[in-house]
Structure 1
Amino acid sequence: MRENVTVQQALNKGKIKLIYIPLLLMLLSFGVGFYLNSVELYSGWAIGISGIVGFLLSWLAWSYFVVEWKVWAFENVRNVHELKRKAIEQRLIWNDDSWFNKTEIVCYEQKQKLKHLEKKFLEKDVYHDDISVPKETAIYFSKTTMVIEFIIGVFMIGSGLFFYWTDSSGFYWMILPLIGIYSFYSCFKKYLDKSPQIIINNEGIKLKNSSLTAWNQVYNDRVFNESHGKHSTNYLSYNSEKISIDNLDIKFDKLENLLQVYRVRFEKSNPS
């Protein structure tokens, strides 16, 4: 096992095989259905049949590629716990207890390899220090977010007043200025708040208006994305805390790296 593939590289390859290829098969199937319908061959039910066929083809592709990807990824990535967690979060694979795992197409050789690779999950993930990371990082509200909220406020108020004046019968247009005022309020509130929302350093994590939690008291710390219908939110989570980071001046990957680096430094300074 070379273990020279990063978690992100493995996830990128997984997305191609487990998301993009199945999606392409589904779109191609729909395309064939629309074509047959347009030339009046099997018209009426061609699109419905193509949808069913596309779903079956995409699921068959996932079932075939998923085991192949697991074997390759878990063989070549060192931090298999992080890889598996992120693969589940990004919907490349399912939880161990999921029924969908029973649809995987796996041969005897792959079964033996996966069984052998289970030993890697008995070891902790390994992270290293990063000298580019300062002793402490303070995270504030994002100025970019404030500008966007300000622009939205101007647009909503201007649009609402314009439509109200040009359409005197529609008081409902005044909903738009109300949304704009709220956007202004949110922007102004963030602008006045000059204090850091999160402080992370070699000793632990501190949220605004709370005391610092030492690394030896921090558990299940992670950065993850949670979908809400068509929208998604990035969160920092640890212990019982769950903080949205979308309005903060920190990127997903950078925050994740900070958690790893500062914990490594703490453990080096406080060996158990």
Structure 2
Amino acid sequence: MSSYQKASLISVDQAITKGRKMLLLPRILMIIGLFFFLFPIAMLFIAIKDGPSFSTNAWLIAASIVIVCFFVCFYLPFRFWSKRTTRWKLWAFNNVDNVHELKIAAVQANLCPAYGTFMDKIQIQSAKEREQWRKLQDRFDFPDIFKDDSTIPSVTEVFYSKMNSAVYILFGLLFLGIGGGIEYLVIKNNGDFTSQLIPFVIVIAAICYIVINIKRMLKKQPEMVLDNQGLTTPGTGFLNWDLIFNEKVTRTDRGKRGILYTFSFQYPGGLVNIDVSDFNVNKARLERLIRVYKGRFAAGLS
């Protein structure tokens, strides 16, 4: 038995959870430090472009400030992040039950760069740490060790979140009231056609929004069904897990419009993108369900 085939290994989820906790502080420090490093550089460029010519002493002071900011605000946070990342990945890839899943999950969660990439190469590591990291790549030569999760049922039906729909309905009612009130005041005060049209559009949009979410709450048919054999969606029908590949759940920050979560996968019929933002399963749970069900299918478990 290989030295990597250990009797007691941790799950991918446990490794990812610990990684997020370990790297939270380094990430925050890097973001803050990058701002304080770039700010004096930006001010220096503005001063060079629009200000008077620098004297020798002024150049020395400016250069000193940039060097100090680079060391304190950029180098030290980057070194802290590098060491924490290295410490986590050496531990995780040595103890996790499935290194192939961990590699995908870690890159998607931005916990560590993929082996051999530019970001991996520029991380600050000792020669011993880099050698350990290189040796850990040998684990990919061994078959995956699937660890089932008994808490996950054989079939999971995914619906729209009733709680989200209820909140959206309340907002719809609020805008319906606002639009209706404005419309009443405009008509009462003999407003022109344009003034009457805007609140009318608000009322119609609010009614449509309310109807859509009521339908979602009352819908009996699930939006997705995951089980030990495959995945069912309204657009694709049933697909065995061996026909599904490159599956991932991505997070997109849309600013004021909120956060969009998209479940995408490829199959022989093409590429599928499903908006799962309002489903009753979060990103981490959906990723876990997919890993377990695909693992059961590959292991021949019913």
Q: Same fold (TM over 0.5)?
A: yes
CA distance in 1, matches of 2:212, 2:77: 43
Correspondent of 1:220 among 243, 246, 252? 246
Correspondent of 1:255 among 286, 289, 292? 286
Correspondent of 2:265 among 198, 222, 238? 238
Q: Provide the TM-score with structure 1 as the length reference.
A: 0.74
Summarize the Cα distance change of 1:89–1:176 in structure 2 as closer, same or farther, 3 Å threshold. farther
CA distance in 2, matches of 1:244, 1:213: 19
Query: Larger radius of gyration, structure 1 or 2?
Result: 2
Q: Who is 2:80 aligned against?
A: 61
Q: In the alignment, residue 186 of structure 1 is paired with which amino acid?
A: I
CA distance in 2, matches of 1:257, 1:207: 18
1:145·1:247 contact (CA, 8 Å) conserved in 2? Answer: yes
CA distance in 2, matches of 1:268, 1:107: 39
CA distance in 2, matches of 1:135, 1:121: 29
Q: Who is 1:37 aligned against?
A: none
2:33·2:77 contact (CA, 8 Å) conserved in 1? Answer: no
Correspondent of 1:147 among 147, 166, 176? 166
Q: 1:178 deviation in Å? A: 5.0
Identity of aligned residues (%): 24
Q: 1:116 deviation in Å? A: 0.8
* Aligned length, in residue pairs: 255
Deviation by residue 1:103-161 (Cα, 9 ceiling, x = unmatched): 31111111111111001122343323344443332222221122111011012222344
Q: Which runs of 5+ in 1 are unaligned?
A: 32-44
1:17·1:62 contact (CA, 8 Å) conserved in 2? Answer: no
Summarize the Cα distance change of 1:22–1:211 in structure 2 as closer, same or farther, 3 Å threshold. closer
Deviation by residue 1:221-256 (Cα, 9 ceiling, x = unmatched): 34x232234443333333222222222222334333
CA distance in 2, matches of 1:84, 1:69: 13
| 2:206 is aligned with 1:180 | yes
Of 257-266 and 161-170, the range deviating more from structure 2: 161-170
Q: In the alignment, residue 213 of structure 1 is paired with which amino acid?
A: L
CA distance in 2, matches of 1:19, 1:181: 42
Summarize the Cα distance change of 1:96–1:134 in structure 2 as closer, same or farther, 3 Å threshold. closer
Deviation by residue 1:193-218 (Cα, 9 ceiling, x = unmatched): 32121122232111125431122322
| 2:222 is aligned with 1:196 | yes
CA distance in 1, matches of 2:31, 2:263: 34
Q: In the alignment, residue 216 of structure 1 is paired with which amino acid?
A: D
| 2:133 is aligned with 1:114 | yes
CA distance in 1, matches of 2:33, 2:235: 54
1:140·1:248 contact (CA, 8 Å) conserved in 2? Answer: yes
Q: Who is 2:52 aligned against?
A: none
Q: 1:55 deviation in Å? A: 4.2
Summarize the Cα distance change of 1:98–1:82 in structure 2 as closer, same or farther, 3 Å threshold. same
Q: 1:269 deviation in Å? A: 4.0
Q: CA RMSD in A?
A: 3.6
Q: In the alignment, residue 228 of structure 2 is paired with which amino acid?
A: N
| 2:30 is aligned with 1:5 | no
| 2:10 is aligned with 1:23 | no
Q: 1:4 deviation in Å? A: 3.5
Q: Who is 1:88 aligned against?
A: 107
2:33·2:74 contact (CA, 8 Å) conserved in 1? Answer: no
Q: Secondary structure at the match of 2:144?
A: coil
Correspondent of 2:123 among 75, 88, 104? 104
CA distance in 2, matches of 1:124, 1:234: 31
For residues 148-167 of structure 1, the aligned pairs below 5 Å read 148-162=167-181
Correspondent of 2:237 among 198, 211, 214? 211
1:127·1:260 contact (CA, 8 Å) conserved in 2? Answer: no
